[in-house]
A and B are shown apart, each in its own frame.
Chain A
Amino acid sequence: MKTFDRIWRFIGSIQLAVPLLGAIVLVLVGATFYESKVGSVSVQHEIYQSPWFGALMFLLAVNLGVSALNRYPWRNARQVGFALTHLGLIVIIAGSAAVIHLGVEGMLLVRTDRGANNQVRMQGDLLEVMNPDRTVESGNIFINRSGKVYPTYLAGLELADYRENTVRSIQFIEGETVPNPAVRLSLTSDRMGQNIERSLAVAPSSYSQMTLGIAELAIVQTNSDEELQQLLSPPSNKTQHLWGELKIDRGQKQAIVDVKDNISKSVNFNDLTIELVDFFPDFRLDKNRLPTTASSQFNNPAILLEISSSTGTEGWFVFGKAEFPPIRTVISGERIADLQLDYQFETPPAEDYFHVIATEDDKLYYTAKSSNGFKSGTLAIGESVTPGWADFQITLKEYIPHGKLQRTIVPADNPQVQGNPALLVKTAAGTATWLPWGEPTTIEEPEGEIYAAFGPKLLALPFGIKLEDFIVDRNEGSQSVAMWTSKIRIQDPINRISKQRNVWMNHPTWYRGWKIAQASWNPGDLQQSTLQVKREPTWVTALTWTGSALVVSGIAVMFYAPALMRKMRSKSNQTEPATAVTPEVAEKPEDEGIDRNLTPIS
C-alpha cells in the first residue's frame, strides 16, 4: 500500500511534471525544425499523430489529473485556481487529440459548369484489393516524403516500394495467334551520347510509327513483291505543296493557289484580290486573343487572308483541318457573295526516316532517308545500319513475328520524364506488380486474379454540393484579391432539402454537422472552387471550448484571486492600515501549502 501511495504521489508530482514538460518542449522544438525540412504531412504522421507522442501527452494528462486530485478538497482560492487550470488542461488535451484523430476532413472540388459533387478527397491514399474469392479489403496508405510506405503489409499484399514518377513501357513478346511482325531496335550515337531502344509493331497501329527528335521510325507489312519493290525504291521527287493549297471556288470558276509560294502576296481572281497575309503552322489564340502559332509543327495549319472586292473587304481564317470551317469577318463594305475557300493540307512526309518492311515469309528489309540520301537493304538481327543522321547507328535487336503487346510500368529515373506515381506490391506468391495511381490493375495469380487499386482516398458525403457562382472581389483599382465567395447549393435528396448558402473566408457554413468552408481557388479558372469539408463531433468542440474557459479562468484565479481575497478581507476587517493592501506576489505560507503533502523524490 505504501509503495502504491508513493507511486501515486510520484505520478501526480511536480518532480515528474517538470522533466516531462521539458521533454515535450524538446520534442516540439525538434519537430518544428524537422517540419521545415520534410514538410507538414510527414511530421504530422511521424511525430504529432504517432503513438509515442500520444503516450507522452497521455502521461502529461495523467500527471495533471493526479496532481489536481491530490489536492482535493480545494480549500482556498489558489487551490481552486490550480484545480481549474490543471483539469482544464486535461480537457483541452483530450479535446485537441479528438480534433486531430476523430475529425473527418477533406477537400471538395466544385465547379459552376458541373453538377453537384459529393466526393470529398481526403488526405492520404487508399489501397483497395479484391481477392480471387471476391472478398474486398481496403486500407489507408501513407507515403512520407522520402517515399517510405506505411504500413508495410495491407490486405495480404506486401507494399514493397513507392515511386513518385513511373512510366508505362511496352514490349512485344512472341505469342499472338495471328502474324504481327514486331521489332526491337537500338539507336546509338557516340557523338550525342545516346543509346535508346524502341519497339515497333504493325499492330496496334499506334506502335507502327513513332517520331523521335531526329527522325521517324516505322514498320510496314507487305504481301506482294511488287509492293515491296515499290517500298524499297527511292521516293519520287514530285512537287510538293509544303504549306498546302488553297482552293478558291466562286460559282463557275475555280482556282488553286500554292500557299508557300504566295504568302504575303496578292492573288487576283476575277474581281477579287486575295492577299495571303499570314500562315500559322500551329494556329492558336494567345492570351490577348490574338492569333499566333504554338509551334513550327503542322498541327493546326491556318491562313489569314484579306479578300477585297469592288464592294467590300473581308478578313478570313481558313484551316487545314477539315472539321474547322473558315471564319470570315467583314472589315468594310458588303459581304462577298458566292465565295468558298477550301484549304487542303497534307502533312508532308518526314525528311528523315527509318522504315522496317516485313514480308510474309518473315524477311526484313529497311529503307532509310537522311539529308545524305536514300538507302535500302535487308535487315537481320545484330546487323547495324547507318541511316545518315549524325553518327546514329540502328541495330535490330529482336524480331518477333507474332508480337503480343505487353505493358509494364517502370520507375523513371529521369526527372524530366512526366510520369505517374505508382506503388509496388508483392503477393504472397511473390509476384511483384506496379500499381499506377488511380488505375485499377489486375494481378495474375495461380489461384485467380487479384484486382488492386491504388488511388485517392475519397469519402462520399450524404449530400451533394453544387457551385452556383464563384465571386472574386478585388481590392479597388487593383488585381489583388480582397475576398472570394462560393455561392453553393446544398442538395440533399434523402431529406429532400435544397439550400443556397454563401461560403467565404472565415465564414463557413454548417449542414447536418458538416462544416463547409472556403479553402482555395484557382486564379486561372474562376468556375472552380475548392471547399474544405469537415465533420467534428459536437462533444469534441464542446471539450475544447470548455477546457479553454477552464484554463484561462483557472490561471486568473490562481494568480490573482488570493490577493483580491486578502484585499477584500482587509477592507472588511479595517484592522490593517490601507497601505498594506499592495498585492503580495511572493506566496505566503498558506499558499505554499500546495506541495506540502509531497515527499520530494530524491
Chain B
Amino acid sequence: MKLLKFLIGICLGLLILILPVSQFQTSPLDPLQELTVQLEGRKKPLDTLARETVTQIHGKTSYQPLNEEKLDYLSTYLSLWFNTRDWNEEPFILVSYRPLKESLGLDVDRKYFTFSELMRSDLNSILWTARQKQADKIPLTRDEREALTIEDRLALTLETVGTNNLPLVPHPTDIKGTWVGIEDAQQYYDDPSVEAIQTDYDALRNAYRENPQDESILGEIARSLSTQLAALSPNVYPEHATLHREVSFYHLHPFAKAWRLYGLGFIAMVLVMAFKAENIYWGALGIFGSGLLIHGYGFLTRVQIAGRPPVTNMYESVIWVGFGIAAIALLFECIYRAKYYLLAAAPLSIVCLILSDSLPAILDPTLKPLVPVLRDNFWLSIHVPTITLGYASFALALGLGHILLGHYLFAPQATPRIRSLSKWNYALLQVGVLLLSAGIILGGIWAHFSWGRFWGWDPKETWALIALMCYVVPLHGRLAGWFSDFAMAVTSVVAFNGVLMAWYGVNFVLGTGLHSYGFATGGSELIVAGLVGLDLLFVAIVAVKQRGRKKEQQKEKTQFPQIYAPD
C-alpha cells in the first residue's frame, strides 16, 4: 500500500514534468539550433553557443531592446551574427559593478551599456593599468578585474557581430582538427562543394535579414546547410543524435524542473503535517523522489555531454550538493519517517538549483575542456563527489538545525519532538563526519599522485579539515557532557560556516593555494557574509532566549532530564 502511494506520487510528479506536452514538440528551428560549431575546444550546437554568448555579454538569456519585443537568446544571437541591428548603439553589454561605473563616469543606475558608450569611456586606461599589473604579477583591484571582464564582453561582441568566421566547416580528416569559417572553406575543400555551402549560408543570412520571424524557411535552409556540411567530412562531423541530446537537455532544463518538484514535495509535506493527513505522506515522498530522479537524470546527461567526470567546478558542485541534500534526505526519510528531513532538504536543494541557474557570472555553467591537472584521474573523480556529499549532509543538518532552533524559539514545550529532532540531526552529523573524513582522505590519496604528497597543509585541505573539526569537536564535547542537545542544534547551524569557508571561501575569499583551478572572482562576498551574519544573529537570539528559560527552570527546580549528560 505504501509502495503504491509512493509510486502514485512519483507518477504524479513525472506527469507534472511532462506537461505541457508542447516542450517535446520539434520546433522548425531545430536544424538551425543543431548546426555544429567548433569553439573553445569542443564541438557544440549553435543553440549552446548562442546561449553562452548572450549570457556572457548580457548576463541573462534574453534581451529586451528599446521599444521592441523581447528577444530570446537565439534571436539575439542571430541578430548579432547576421548584424541586423546597430549593435554599436544597442544597450546590450552588462556592467554591473557600481564602483566601476562610477570611475568610468557611466550612469550608475543603468545595467546595460552600448558598445560605443563603453569604447568612449575611460575603460582603456583602467585596462592598461590592469595589464601592466598582470605583467608585474601584482594583484589586481576589484575595479580592474571587473574591467577585464567588460573587456572580454566587448571582445566577444566584436567577434560575434557580423562574423563570417564561425567555425562551421569541419576538418576533412582529423577528428581533433581545427574547423574553419565558411569564408575559409576552400582551405580544405574544392570549389563546387564550397560554393554550395556558401550559397546556403548566404541564403540563410538573407532569409534572416528579410524575415527573421519565418522560422520554417530558416529551418529549411539550415537543414540543407547542415546536411552539406556533414557530407563534407562524415567521419569528423558529429552524430546528429549527439547534438540533439545537448539541445534537448537545455530545452528540457531538468534542474529547473527538479526544484519545482522539490517545492511541490515540500508543500505536500507541509499539508501532511498541518492536517495530519498521513495518507499523503508517501505521495509527498513520491513527488520529491520524482524531483530527485529528474535532477539525477539532468546531472547524468550533463556528464555524458561533457564526456568527463562530474563536479569539476563551482557550478557542478552546487548542483551536486543540491542533489546530495535531496538524496540523503530521501534516504533518511525512508529510514526514520521523520518528515522533517524532507522539510529541511527541499528549501536547501531549491536554493542550490536556483542559485546555479541564476548566477552565470559566478557559477559558470558552460561546458569547457578541463585543465590538465583535473584530467584523467580516478582518485579525483571519487574524491570530489565524496567530499561534496559530506558538505551536503552538513547542509541538511543546517536545515534541520534551523527547524530545531525554531522549535526552541517558538515551541520549547514540545520536548518529545525536540528530542526526536535532535536524534535525527545527530544521525546527519554522523553521516557527514564519515563522508567528509573519507573525502579528505581520498583527497590525500589524489594529492599523493598528483602533487607527490599525502598532506601538505594547502588552504583547501586545511579548511576541509577545519570544517570537519567544527563538527568533531562538538561531537566529542557532547560525549564529555559539555554540549547539550541545544548546543548540538546550534553546532549544526554554526559549524556549517566551516563548510562554507572550505567550499566557497577558500576559492573566493582566500584565493591562494594549489586548488587554483577552482578560484573565481566576483563571488559577492559581502552578500554571503551578510547572510551568514543574519543567521548567526538568529542563533544568538535563540540562545539568549534558551538561556533565560533555563534560568527560570532552575529557579523552579524543575530541571528536565538531560539524556546525554554523563552519569
What residues of chain A have their CB less than 8 Å away from a CB belonging to chain B? 14-15, 17-18, 21-22, 24-25, 28-29, 31-33, 35-36, 39-40, 43-44, 48, 92, 95-96, 99-100, 103, 105, 474-478, 480-484, 504-508, 515, 517, 532, 534, 536, 541, 544-545, 548, 551-552, 555-556, 559, 582-583, 585-587, 592, 594-596, 600
Interface centre among A25, A99, A477, A596 (most CB of B within 10 A): A477
Asked whether, in the complex, the Cβ of A506 is within 8 Å of the Cβ of B466, the reply is no
When chains A and B are docked, how far (Å) is the Cα of A100 from the Cα of B517? 24
When chains A and B are docked, how far (Å) is the Cα of A467 from the Cα of B444? 29
A483 vs chain B, min Cβ distance (A): 5
Known contacts A555-B433, A600-B481; is-contact A21 B476 (Cβ 8 Å): yes
Instruction: Verify if B445 is at the interface (C-beta below 8 Å from A).
Output: yes
Known contacts A25-B469, A99-B454, A476-B176; is-contact A506 B448 (Cβ 8 Å): no
Asked whether, in the complex, the Cβ of A48 is within 8 Å of the Cβ of B457, the reply is yes
Asked whether, in the complex, the Cβ of A505 is within 8 Å of the Cβ of B42, the reply is no
Interface centre among A481, A506, A592, A595 (most CB of B within 10 A): A506
Asked whether, in the complex, the Cβ of A505 is within 8 Å of the Cβ of B375, the reply is yes
When chains A and B are docked, how far (Å) is the Cα of A472 from the Cα of B407? 60
Asked whether, in the complex, the Cβ of A595 is within 8 Å of the Cβ of B176, the reply is no
Known contacts A14-B476, A35-B510, A586-B426; is-contact A99 B453 (Cβ 8 Å): yes
Asked whether, in the complex, the Cβ of A18 is within 8 Å of the Cβ of B445, the reply is no
Q: In the complex, given contacts A14-B476, A32-B462, A517-B450, what are 4 additional A-B residue pairs having Cβ atoms less than 8 angstroms apart?
A: A40-B512, A99-B456, A480-B41, A600-B566
Known contacts A14-B480, A25-B469, A555-B437; is-contact A32 B459 (Cβ 8 Å): yes
What would 23 A/B residue contacts be, using CB atoms closer than 8 Å?
A18-B476, A18-B477, A21-B469, A24-B469, A29-B466, A31-B462, A32-B463, A36-B459, A40-B512, A96-B454, A105-B452, A474-B41, A475-B369, A477-B41, A477-B178, A483-B375, A483-B376, A504-B372, A515-B452, A534-B452, A534-B453, A551-B437, A586-B423
A395 vs chain B, min Cβ distance (A): 37
Cβ < 8 Å to A, chain B residues 475-513: 476-477, 479-482, 506, 510-513
Asked whether, in the complex, the Cβ of A506 is within 8 Å of the Cβ of B377, the reply is yes
Asked whether, in the complex, the Cβ of B510 is within 8 Å of the Cβ of A36, the reply is yes
B331 vs chain A, min Cβ distance (A): 12
Q: Which residue of B lies closest to A17 (CB)?
A: B476
Contact with A along B429-440 (1 / 0, CB 8 A): 010011001100
Contacts of A475 in B (CB 8 A): 40-42, 369
Asked whether, in the complex, the Cβ of A552 is within 8 Å of the Cβ of B438, the reply is yes
When chains A and B are docked, how far (Å) is the Cα of A18 from the Cα of B491? 14
Asked whether, in the complex, the Cβ of B43 is within 8 Å of the Cβ of A476, the reply is yes
Instruction: Verify if B473 is at the interface (C-beta below 8 Å from A).
Output: yes
When chains A and B are docked, how far (Å) is the Cα of A548 from the Cα of B455? 12
A535 vs chain B, min Cβ distance (A): 10
Known contacts A505-B373, A559-B434, A585-B423; is-contact A18 B513 (Cβ 8 Å): no
B39 vs chain A, min Cβ distance (A): 7
Interface centre among A28, A44, A95, A504 (most CB of B within 10 A): A28
Instruction: Verify if B472 is at the interface (C-beta below 8 Å from A).
Output: yes
Asked whether, in the complex, the Cβ of A586 is within 8 Å of the Cβ of B563, the reply is yes
Asked whether, in the complex, the Cβ of A95 is within 8 Å of the Cβ of B369, the reply is no
Contacting A506 at CB < 8 Å: which of B42, B376, B506, B566?
B376
Contacts of A545 in B (CB 8 A): 445
Q: Which residue of A lies closest to B469 (CB)?
A: A25
Interface centre among A36, A44, A582 (most CB of B within 10 A): A36
Asked whether, in the complex, the Cβ of A95 is within 8 Å of the Cβ of B423, the reply is no
Contacts of A29 in B (CB 8 A): 466
When chains A and B are docked, how far (Å) is the Cα of A44 from the Cα of B462? 12
What residues of chain B have their CB less than 8 Å away from a CB belonging to chain A? 38-43, 167, 175-179, 335-336, 369, 371-373, 375-377, 380, 423-424, 426-427, 430, 433-434, 437-438, 441, 444-445, 448-459, 462-463, 465-466, 469-470, 472-473, 476-477, 479-482, 506, 510-513, 563-564, 566-567
Q: Which 9 A-B pairs have the closest CB atoms?
A: A475-B41, A96-B455, A544-B454, A505-B372, A476-B176, A534-B452, A14-B480, A548-B441, A475-B369
Number of A-B contacts (CB under 8 A): 176
Contacting B465 at CB < 8 Å: which of A28, A506, A548, A586?
A28
When chains A and B are docked, how far (Å) is the Cα of A515 from the Cα of B567? 54
Asked whether, in the complex, the Cβ of A476 is within 8 Å of the Cβ of B41, the reply is yes
When chains A and B are docked, how far (Å) is the Cα of A284 from the Cα of B566? 83
Asked whether, in the complex, the Cβ of B426 is within 8 Å of the Cβ of A585, the reply is yes
Contacts of B373 in A (CB 8 A): 505-506
Contacts of B375 in A (CB 8 A): 482-483, 505-506
Asked whether, in the complex, the Cβ of A478 is within 8 Å of the Cβ of B513, the reply is no
Q: Which residue of B lies closest to A594 (CB)?
A: B479
Asked whether, in the complex, the Cβ of B480 is within 8 Å of the Cβ of A18, the reply is yes
Asked whether, in the complex, the Cβ of A482 is within 8 Å of the Cβ of B513, the reply is no
When chains A and B are docked, how far (Å) is the Cα of A552 from the Cα of B433? 10
B203 vs chain A, min Cβ distance (A): 26
A567 vs chain B, min Cβ distance (A): 12
A465 vs chain B, min Cβ distance (A): 16
B482 vs chain A, min Cβ distance (A): 7
Contacts of B563 in A (CB 8 A): 586
Known contacts A476-B43, A480-B369, A505-B375; is-contact A36 B480 (Cβ 8 Å): no
Contacts of A481 in B (CB 8 A): 371-372
Known contacts A100-B455, A585-B423, A600-B566; is-contact A477 B437 (Cβ 8 Å): no
Asked whether, in the complex, the Cβ of B372 is within 8 Å of the Cβ of A507, the reply is no
Contacts of A587 in B (CB 8 A): 564
Asked whether, in the complex, the Cβ of B511 is within 8 Å of the Cβ of A36, the reply is yes
Contacting A25 at CB < 8 Å: which of B39, B449, B455, B470?
B470
Q: Which residue of A lies closest to B438 (CB)?
A: A552
When chains A and B are docked, how far (Å) is the Cα of A574 from the Cα of B212? 75
When chains A and B are docked, how far (Å) is the Cα of A596 from the Cα of B567? 8
Contacting B482 at CB < 8 Å: which of A18, A536, A555?
A18
Q: Which residue of A lies closest to B454 (CB)?
A: A544
Contacts of A103 in B (CB 8 A): 452-453
Known contacts A480-B40, A552-B438; is-contact A35 B178 (Cβ 8 Å): no
Contacts of B567 in A (CB 8 A): 592, 596
B133 vs chain A, min Cβ distance (A): 14
Contacts of B40 in A (CB 8 A): 475, 478, 480
Asked whether, in the complex, the Cβ of A482 is within 8 Å of the Cβ of B462, the reply is no
Asked whether, in the complex, the Cβ of B424 is within 8 Å of the Cβ of A585, the reply is yes
Known contacts A18-B476, A505-B372, A600-B480; is-contact A544 B179 (Cβ 8 Å): no
Q: Which residue of B lies closest to A25 (CB)?
A: B469
When chains A and B are docked, how far (Å) is the Cα of A557 from the Cα of B457? 28
Contacts of B472 in A (CB 8 A): 21
Interface centre among B452, B481, B566 (most CB of A within 10 A): B452
Asked whether, in the complex, the Cβ of B177 is within 8 Å of the Cβ of A33, the reply is no
Known contacts A476-B42, A476-B177; is-contact A21 B473 (Cβ 8 Å): yes
Contacts of B449 in A (CB 8 A): 506, 508
Contacting A482 at CB < 8 Å: which of B41, B335, B512, B564?
B41
Contacts of A551 in B (CB 8 A): 437, 441
A343 vs chain B, min Cβ distance (A): 37
Asked whether, in the complex, the Cβ of A548 is within 8 Å of the Cβ of B43, the reply is no
B84 vs chain A, min Cβ distance (A): 27
Contacts of B462 in A (CB 8 A): 28, 31-32
Contacting B444 at CB < 8 Å: which of A21, A505, A544, A586?
A544
Contacting B335 at CB < 8 Å: which of A15, A478, A484, A583?
A583
